[in-house]
Amino acid sequence: MISGFNMDAFPVQETAAKLLAGDRAALARAITLIESTKAAHQTVAQDLLHLLLPERKAAHRIGITGVPGAGKSTLIEALGTMLTARRHKVAVLAVDPTSSRSGGSILADKTRMRNLAANPDAFIRPSPTSGTLGGVARRTRETMAICESAGFDIIIVETVGVGQSEIAVSEMVDFFLVLMVPGGGDEIQGLKKGILEIADMIVVNKADGDMIDRARRAAGEYRAALNILAPSNPDWRPPVITISARTGTGLDEMWERIEEHRRLLTATGAYEARRRDQAVKWMHEMIDDRLKGLLGTNKQVASRMPDLERRVRVGEMTPAAATDEIMACFGKR
Distance of CA 225 to the CA centre of its chain: 26
Least Cα distance to 152 among 71, 270, 57 occurs for 57
**Alpha-carbon span 280 to 277, nearest angstrom:** 5
> CA quadruple 194, 196, 199, 200: dihedral positive or negative?
negative
Work out the widest C-alpha separation in the chain, in whole angstroms.
68
Q: How many C-beta atoms surround the C-beta of residue 87 within 10 A?
A: 8
pLDDT attached to residue 155 = 97
**Alpha-carbon span 169 to 308, nearest angstrom:** 34
Least Cα distance to 237 among 248, 246, 229, 245 occurs for 229
Tens-digit pLDDT string for the chain (333 aa): 444 455 667 889 999 999 999 999 999 999 999 888 787 888 899 899 999 988 888 899 999 988 778 899 999 999 999 999 999 999 999 876 554 444 444 445 556 788 898 999 999 987 665 555 544 656 888 899 999 999 999 999 988 665 566 778 888 899 999 998 887 445 555 556 667 778 899 999 999 988 899 999 989 988 888 888 777 788 899 999 999 999 999 999 999 999 999 999 999 999 999 999 988 988 888 788 778 878 878 888 889 999 999 999 999 999 999 999 998 888 775
How far does the chain reach from its first CA to its final CA, in angstroms?
Answer: 34
pLDDT attached to residue 123 = 95
pLDDT attached to residue 267 = 95
Domains of the chain listed by start with CATH number:
1-55 (1.20.5.170), 56-268 (3.40.50.300), 281-331 (1.10.287.130)
pLDDT attached to residue 70 = 86
